[in-house]
Amino acid sequence: MYKSFGKRFFDIISVATGLIILSPLFLFLTLLLCFFNKGKPFFFQSRPGLFCKIFMIVKFKTMLDSNDPSMDQLPDQDRITRVGKFLRRTSLDEIPQLWNVLKGEMSLVGPRPLLIEYLSGYDQNQLRRHDVKPGITGWAQINGRNEISWEEKFKYDLYYVDNLSLKLDSKIFLITLIKLISRRNRTFYSNKMMEKFTGSSSLIK
């Protein structure tokens, strides 16, 4: 019952409240990033969602569109701005995803939506992370975020899929808020960028 109806109700109520509370901050960050990113405050990218259906995720833009002399895009660590590092460290870059939640493409809680190119590298068990909507925060995010390995991430994601409930969603949501407010967790506020996933075979040692 919760997975079919209650979770969507939880999302709508939470997002509506969040949009009201965060609207001044949203406006301020949009204007700030318009200045630092040459009029481009948002980042859009196609990601796989529920049952691998592709949707367009929206985030605050944290990187410049910079290329090397060969016109190849520079590595992420060379393109991220100072403002971008702050937004990522505090997870403020995720605020626009409330729109994705409102549209029903994402949920507040769930496995993070990864890159489309990763789909071909999943084994059948890992693909089960797409049996639920992707989330803004999730079980893997509060248990290490980018400081943990891909193998650990998938274990946390699949645990969430197998144990989805109002109790677990509430726990993840509350822990996320506590970590954001307390700012005492080093891994949660890490600016470490996750290395690319190269396929399930790479997880076998």
For residue 204, being part of any structural domain is answered with no
For residue 146, being part of any structural domain is answered with yes
By C-alpha distance, which of 79, 78, 93, 101 is closest to 9? 101
For residue 201, being part of any structural domain is answered with no
What is the structure's pLDDT at 76? 67
For residue 85, being part of any structural domain is answered with yes
Please answer whether residues 197 and 118 qualify as being in contact, where contact means their C-beta atoms are separated by less than 8 angstroms.
yes
For residue 199, being part of any structural domain is answered with no
Show the domain range for 156.
2-191
Q: Burial code of 50-80, b = ≥16 C-beta within 10 A, e = fewer?
A: beeeebebbbbbbbbeeeeeeeeeeeeeeeb
pLDDT in tens, the chain (205 residues): 898 889 999 999 999 999 999 999 999 999 999 988 888 999 999 999 999 999 999 999 998 876 656 656 666 677 788 888 899 888 899 999 999 999 999 999 999 999 999 999 999 999 999 999 999 999 999 998 888 999 999 999 999 999 999 999 999 999 998 988 876 655 555 556 678 888 875 564 4
How many CB atoms are located within 10 Å of the residue 42 CB? 14
For residue 47, being part of any structural domain is answered with yes
Please answer whether residues 98 and 67 qualify as being in contact, where contact means their C-beta atoms are separated by less than 8 angstroms.
no
For residue 134, being part of any structural domain is answered with yes
Beta-strand relationship, 54-60 and 42-48: antiparallel
What is the structure's pLDDT at 110? 97
- Count of domains forming the chain: 1
For residue 200, being part of any structural domain is answered with no
